Each structure stands twice: as C-alpha cells, then as structure tokens.
Amino acid sequence: MALDTFLLRELVAAIVVFFITHFSIRLLFKNPSRKLPPGPKGWPIVGALPLLGTMPHVALAKMAKQYGHVMYLKMGTCDMAVASTPDAARAFLKTLDINFSNRPPNAEQKIEYSLQKQKQ
C-alpha cells in the first residue's frame, strides 16, 4: 500500500515537471515575428495528415474555402504553405523564386536513369 502511494506521488511529480519544462521551453523558443497564414491546428505528431482523408484534393478545396487562398499546414514534421489558386501560386513563385530554383542541374538525369534501371 505504501509502495503504491509512493509510485503515484512520483508519477504525478514527473508529469508536473514534464509539463512545466515543456511549456517553458516553448515560451523560450517562440518566434513572435514569424507570421504564418491561417490553417487548421492539426495533431501534435501527424499534423494535418488525418484531416486530408482518402481524397486530399477535396479536403484541400474545403480548407481553402475556410482558410483562404494561402494556408499553412503541418504535415507530420514538415511545415508548408499551400497556395490554392493560380494567382497565389504565381505570387509564391515570383517572390520566392530563389528558394524554388535550388534543384541540381542533373536531377532529371538521375530520375530517368533510375527509371530505366527499374524497367530492366
């Protein structure tokens, strides 16, 4: 009986210490200058992946109606901004063209070579 109460007390203390540490670290590393577009909150580890369901294009269209043309999604451990209209995508590609142009020049050759290797 005494062992059970001791273990319960230790467990509660560990949980309290975990949450205090978690929230204090979160407050320390919070970046208030980072403005993100609106989007669904998502789950802690998987993000918004369960919200996409079996037909992701339909779910993304519904989210675009709810959150706007540009939305923020967390997919697993990756953060991403989704442009749901051609104008929004054009704005992304014009303002962030340096970020999208970092593909190596021979990436296409590597893909073709690996596809040819699989066919044989």
What are 43-101's pLDDT values in tens digits? 878 888 888 889 999 999 999 999 999 999 988 878 888 999 999 888 888 887 777 66
Q: Whole-prediction pTM value?
A: 0.55
The rounded mean pLDDT for the chain is 80
Rounded Cα gap, residues 1 and 33, in angstroms: 53
Q: Helix, strand or coil for residue 93?
A: helix
Q: Is the pLDDT of residue 102 over 70?
A: no
Share of residues in the chain with pLDDT > 90 (%): 25
Q: Is the pLDDT of residue 30 over 90?
A: no
